[in-house]
C-alpha cells in the first residue's frame, strides 16, 4: 500500500490518497480534489502506471477534498464506492457543487477544480459492514457519521482508512477534529470513534495526513479536542454572537493552541489548509442550533 501525497495548494502532508494493487487493477482510497488530479496522475506515471489502471475508487465521503476527482477516474471506467447518502450527489453533483460554491465562492476552481457527474453504472452504494471483495483484496465499509452523515471508514485487513472521522494530524503534532457544516454531530462522532476502537486496528490512515499506529491514544485526543472546541464555541452560541464574529476569535484560539503545542509555523500552515478554523465555527454553531431546536 502506498500513501500518495497530493501536494494540495503546493503543501506536502496535507491531503493523501492511498493506492493498493489488486488482481483487478489498482485500488484508490480517496481521490482527492480534481485540483490535484494532475499531480496524482504524475505520481502514477512515475510508478509506471496510468490513470486508466485505477479500476476502483473507494471514498470515505463526498466532500470535495476527498471525492472531487472521483469522476475523472470514472471517465476511464473505474468503479466508485460510496455511502448511500452520497450516491445521488456523485450521480448529479449540482447541489453539492452549489453548496460548496456558497462557502468558497470565487476560490472554487483554485481549491477544488472541476466536478462532473458519474454514470450510475459505475457507482456503488455500500451496505454497512458488508465486505467488498476486489481482486483478492477485502474491504469492509463501516458507517461512521459525526463529521458527515455520508461517511464511511474503510477497513482493510488490520488497517482502517478513517477519512475525517479519524481527525487531522500533521506530522508528530496534535490531533484536530475537522468540523465543517452542515452535518457535525458530536454524539454520533463519539459513537463512530467507539466503532473504530472496537475494531482494534493496528493502524489507521488519515486523509489529513498519513499513518497512525497509536490508535487509542490518537482517538482519545481527538475526542478530547472535539469536546474542548465545542466548549469554547458554545458560550458564543448561547449569547447569540453572530458566527462571522466568532470566526476570527476561534482562529486566534486555534493558532495559539498549536503554538503552545510547539507546532512549527510550516505545519501550522498545513493545518490551516487541511482544516480551516472558520469551518469548525460554522459547523459547531450549526450543530448547537440544530440541537437547541430539538
DSSP-assigned beta bridge partners for residue 81:
58, 124
User: In the CATH scheme, what architecture does the domain 2-216 have?
Assistant: 4-Layer Sandwich (3.60)
277-292 helix and 243-260 helix, angle to the nearest 10 degrees: 130
Q: How would you write 21-67 as a 3-class SS string?
A: EEECEEEEECCCCHHHHHHHHHHHHHCCCCHHHEEEEECCCCCHHHH
DSSP-assigned beta bridge partners for residue 141:
154
**Residue 212 φ/ψ, nearest 5 degrees:** -130, 125
- 100 band by pLDDT with thresholds 50, 70 and 90: confident
- Report how far residue 110's alpha carbon sits from residue 102's, in angstroms, rounded to the nearest whole number: 15
CB 39 within 8 A of CB 5: no
- Report how far residue 18's alpha carbon sits from residue 240's, in angstroms, rounded to the nearest whole number: 42
CB 211 within 8 A of CB 167: no
Average pLDDT, the chain: 96
Residue-level pLDDT at 95: 87
> Which residues, 6+ apart, have CB-to-CB distance to 118 below 8 Å?
70, 71, 74, 80, 90, 91
Averaged pLDDT for residues 25-43: 97
Averaged pLDDT for residues 13-40: 97
Residue 242, phi-psi category: left (phi > 0), alpha (psi -120 to 50), beta (remainder): beta
Domain ranges of the chain: 2-216, 229-292
Report the helix count and the strand count for the chain, using DSSP H and E: 11, 14
- 109 band by pLDDT with thresholds 50, 70 and 90: confident
| For the chain, percent of residues with pLDDT exceeding 90 | 94
3-state DSSP assignment of residue 168: strand
Averaged pLDDT for residues 251-275: 97
Tell me the whole-structure pTM to 2 decimals: 0.95
Amino acid at each position: 500500500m502506498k500513501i500518495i501525497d497530493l501536494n494540495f495548494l503546493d503543501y506536502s502532508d496535507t491531503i493523501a490518497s492511498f493506492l493498493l494493487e489488486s488482481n483487478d487493477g489498482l485500488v484508490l482510497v480517496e481521490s482527492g480534489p480534481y485540483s490535484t488530479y494532475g499531480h496524482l496522475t504524475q505520481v502514477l506515471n512515475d510508478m509506471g502506471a496510468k490513470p486508466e489502471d485505477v479500476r476502483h475508487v473507494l471514498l470515505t465521503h463526498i466532500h470535495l477534498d476527498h471525492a472531487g476527482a472521483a469522476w475523472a477516474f470514472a471517465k476511464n471506467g473505474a468503479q466508485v464506492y460510496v455511502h448511500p447518502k452520497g450516491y445521488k450527489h456523485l450521480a448529479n453533483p449540482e447541489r453539492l457543487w452549489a453548496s460548496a460554491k456558497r462557502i468558497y465562492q470565487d476560490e472554487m476552481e483554485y481549491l477544488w477544480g472541476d466536478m462532473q457527474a458519474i454514470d450510475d453504472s459505475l457507482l456503488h452504494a455500500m451496505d454497512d459492514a458488508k465486505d467488498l471483495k476486489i481482486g483478492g483484496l477485502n474491504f469492509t465499509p463501516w458507517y461512521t457519521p459525526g463529521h458527515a452523515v455520508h461517511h464511511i471508514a474503510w477497513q482493510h485487513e488490520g488497517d482502517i482508512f478513517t477519512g475525517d472521522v479519524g481527525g487531522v494530524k500533521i506530522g508528530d503534532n496534535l490531533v484536530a477534529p475537522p468540523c465543517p457544516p452542515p452535518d457535525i454531530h458530536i454524539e454520533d462522532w463519539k459513537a463512530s470513534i467507539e466503532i473504530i476502537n472496537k475494531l482494534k486496528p493496528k493502524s489507521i490512515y488519515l486523509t489529513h495526513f498519513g499513518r497512525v499506529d497509536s490508535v487509542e491514544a490518537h482517538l482519545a485526543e481527538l475526542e478530547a479536542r472535539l469536546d474542548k472546541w465545542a466548549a469554547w464555541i458554545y458560550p458564543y452560541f448561547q449569547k447569540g454572537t453572530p458566527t462571522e464574529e466568532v470566526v476570527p476569535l476561534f482562529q486566534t484560539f486555534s493558532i495559539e493552541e498549536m503554538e503552545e503545542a510547539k507546532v512549527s509555523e510550516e505545519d501550522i500552515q498545513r493545518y490551516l489548509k487541511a482544516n480551516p478554523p472558520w469551518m469548525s465555527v460554522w459547523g459547531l454553531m450549526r450543530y448547537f442550533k440544530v440541537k437547541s431546536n430539538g
